[in-house]
């Protein structure tokens, strides 16, 4: 029997993949404000699906944190320093996600991906639930 965590992980990834299939999602619900200081709603979001967006707070090795707002083919990743980075979805296997942009990469199982920042080693992360 599957564990409650693995079922939750599959559901979260399924939501992210489902959002990715919506061709005009980004245009319909507004473009990214990455890098403009206008990205809203990053505070205290934990694996929340509000009908248009999926939010996940990740706690990573070494005390790093990354909050990700998934919007279809795109994701905005906010790092602990407050910077917001625009990531584009890449092909990934079933049960996995893969987003990258500007040297940043987020890939692997939905609730336990690997985060890589430019010039830094990859770190394992865990979605807060």
Which pLDDT belongs to residue 48? 45
Note whether 73 and 88 are within 8 A (CB): yes
Where do the structural domains in the chain lie, given as residue ranges? Answer: 4-127
pLDDT reported for residue 40 = 44
Tens-place pLDDT, residues 54-67: 889 999 999 999 99
Place 84 in a pLDDT band, splitting at 50, 70 and 90.
very high
- Please give the model's pTM, rounded to 2 decimal places: 0.61
Q: Dihedral of CA 127/21/117/45: which sign?
A: negative
pLDDT digits (tens, 9 = 90+) for 95-127: 789 999 999 999 999 899 999 999 999 999 999
Which percentage of the chain shows pLDDT scores above 70?
Answer: 59
CB 101 within 8 A of CB 89: no
């Amino acid at each position: 029997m599957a564990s409650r965590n693995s079922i939750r992980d599959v559901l979260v990834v399924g939501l992210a993949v489902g959002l990715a299939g919506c061709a005009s999602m980004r245009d319909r619900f507004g473009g990214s404000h990455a890098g403009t200081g206008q990205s809203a709603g990053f505070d205290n979001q934990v694996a929340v699906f509000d009908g248009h967006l999926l939010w996940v707070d990740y706690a990573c090795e070494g005390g790093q944190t990354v909050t990700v707002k998934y919007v279809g083919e795109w994701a905005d990743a906010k790092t602990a320093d407050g910077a917001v980075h625009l990531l584009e979805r890449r092909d990934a296997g079933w049960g996995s996600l893969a987003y990258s942009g500007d040297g940043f990469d987020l890939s692997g199982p939905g609730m336990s991906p690997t985060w890589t920042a430019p010039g830094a080693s990859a770190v394992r992360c865990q979605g807060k639930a």
